[in-house]
């Protein structure tokens, strides 16, 4: 939920696959302490959102809480949308829907689609780079030979995703992680994003070095496939930069909020 602070910009933080608003707790604390208004949203069936996985049929269902939140804001408000990992797809659709209130989109080791190809192009490239060993103890369901949903395993979380984080952050994740859909069918549709809306908004990409989930080579592919206005790299961040380098990413988000009014 937003703070009552009246100074600073409004930053809206969106989590990655299987996570929730809780994953931003350190960044929210840092940003609020400097007077910024900060909100973190649980997407459908994620975090403490009441819907179960089987009740989230489409990507529209998944991102509805984010769109409803943005719809609730005053018409003269401007937000910095921040999406982590799979959350890059969520903020992309939100930018398309609400281009008049988004001042900049920040993609943190995230998918960042372009206006020419459906998002599944980037997603397919990601899956091509995976080897069976990288899945570890994650559990998947499949449709038509393609992954439909995933539930992240404890070994995967500790070895791949939270390797750069404190033990208590991993313990929190093991308590709150929930299964999620990939929504590949929805992501294969053309004309989801347009140059007049999504394409008109400034975009910043945050490269997380040492990321074992979305490795730097793939992040650089995303940047080349959909060039942003700005790129910033964080050495040794790993995948969960909001936990491993919470102060560093918070300071950068403050800078972005200032430079993209």
Name the pairing type of β-strands 37-41 and 10-14: parallel
Residue 27 · residue 249 · CB < 8 Å: yes
Write the pLDDT tens digit of every residue in 31-83: 999 999 999 999 999 999 999 999 999 999 999 999 999 999 988 899 999 99
Residues in the chain: 261
The mean of the pLDDT values for the chain is 94
pLDDT at site 8: 58
Residue 7 has pLDDT above 70, yes or no: no
From the candidates 23, 39, 46, 85, give the one annotated as an active-site residue. Answer: 85
Beta bridge partners of residue 91, listed in sequence order: none
pLDDT at site 30: 97
Residue 149 · residue 182 · CB < 8 Å: yes
pLDDT at site 169: 98
pLDDT at site 6: 40
Average pLDDT over residues 165-178: 98
Q: Which residues of 135-169 are buried (b: 16+ CB within 10 A; e: fewer)?
A: beebeeeeeeeebebbbbbeebbbebbbbbbeeeb
Write the pLDDT tens digit of every residue in 173-189: 999 999 999 999 999 99
pLDDT at site 109: 98
Distance CA 21, CA 118 (A): 26
pLDDT at site 75: 83
pLDDT at site 51: 96
Clarify whether 15 is annotated catalytic: no
Clarify whether 85 is annotated catalytic: yes
Average pLDDT over residues 13-29: 98
pLDDT at site 2: 38
Write the pLDDT tens digit of every residue in 128-145: 888 888 889 999 999 888
* Residue 7 structure tokens: 């100074």
pLDDT at site 4: 38
From the candidates 36, 49, 84, 239, give the one annotated as an active-site residue. Answer: 239
Distance CA 91, CA 102 (A): 10
* 51 vs 1, residue with greater confidence: 51
From the candidates 186, 211, 215, 250, give the one annotated as an active-site residue. Answer: 211
pTM of the shown model = 0.95
Write the pLDDT tens digit of every residue in 196-205: 999 999 999 9
Three-state SS sequence of the chain: CCCCCCCCCEEEEECCCCCCHHHHHHHHHHHHHCCCEEEEECCCCCCCCCCCHHHCCCHHHHHHHHHHHHHCCCCCCCEEEEEECCHHHHHHHHHHHCCCCEEEEEEECCCCCCCCCCCHHHHHHHHHHCCHHHHCCCEEEEECCEEEEEECCHHHHHHHHCCCCCHHHHHHHHHHCCCEECCHHHHCCCCCCCCCCHHHCEEEEEEECCCCCCCHHHHHHHHHHCCCCEEEEECCCCCCHHHHCHHHHHHHHHHHHHHCC
Average pLDDT over residues 161-166: 98
């Amino acid at each position: 939920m937003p703070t009552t602070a009246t100074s600073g910009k409004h930053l809206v933080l969106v989590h990655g696959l299987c996570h929730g608003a809780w994953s931003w707790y350190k960044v929210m604390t840092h940003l609020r302490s400097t007077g910024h208004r900060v909100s973190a949203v649980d997407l459908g069936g994620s975090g403490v959102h009441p819907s179960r996985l089987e009740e989230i049929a489409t990507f529209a269902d998944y991102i509805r809480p984010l769109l409803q939140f943005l719809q609730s804001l005053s018409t003269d408000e401007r937000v910095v949308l921040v999406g982590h990992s799979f959350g890059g797809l969520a903020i992309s659709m939100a930018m398309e829907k609400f281009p008049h209130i988004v001042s900049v989109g920040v993609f943190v080791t995230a998918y960042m689609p372009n206006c020419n190809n459906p998002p599944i192009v980037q997603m397919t490239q990601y899956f091509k780079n995976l080897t069976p060993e990288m899945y570890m103890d994650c559990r998947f369901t499949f449709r038509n030979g393609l992954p439909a949903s995933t539930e992240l395993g404890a070994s995967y979380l500790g070895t791949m995703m939270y390797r750069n984080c404190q033990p208590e952050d991993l313990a929190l994740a093991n308590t709150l992680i929930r299964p999620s859909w990939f929504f590949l069918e929805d992501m294969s549709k053309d004309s989801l994003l347009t140059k007049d809306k999504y394409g008109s908004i400034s975009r910043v990409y945050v490269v997380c070095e040492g990321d074992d989930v979305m490795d730097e080579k793939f992040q650089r592919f995303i940047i080349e496939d959909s060039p942003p206005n700005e790129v910033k790299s964080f050495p040794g961040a790993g995948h969960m930069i909001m936990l491993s380098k919470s102060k560093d990413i918070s300071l950068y988000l403050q800078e972005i909020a200032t430079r993209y009014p």
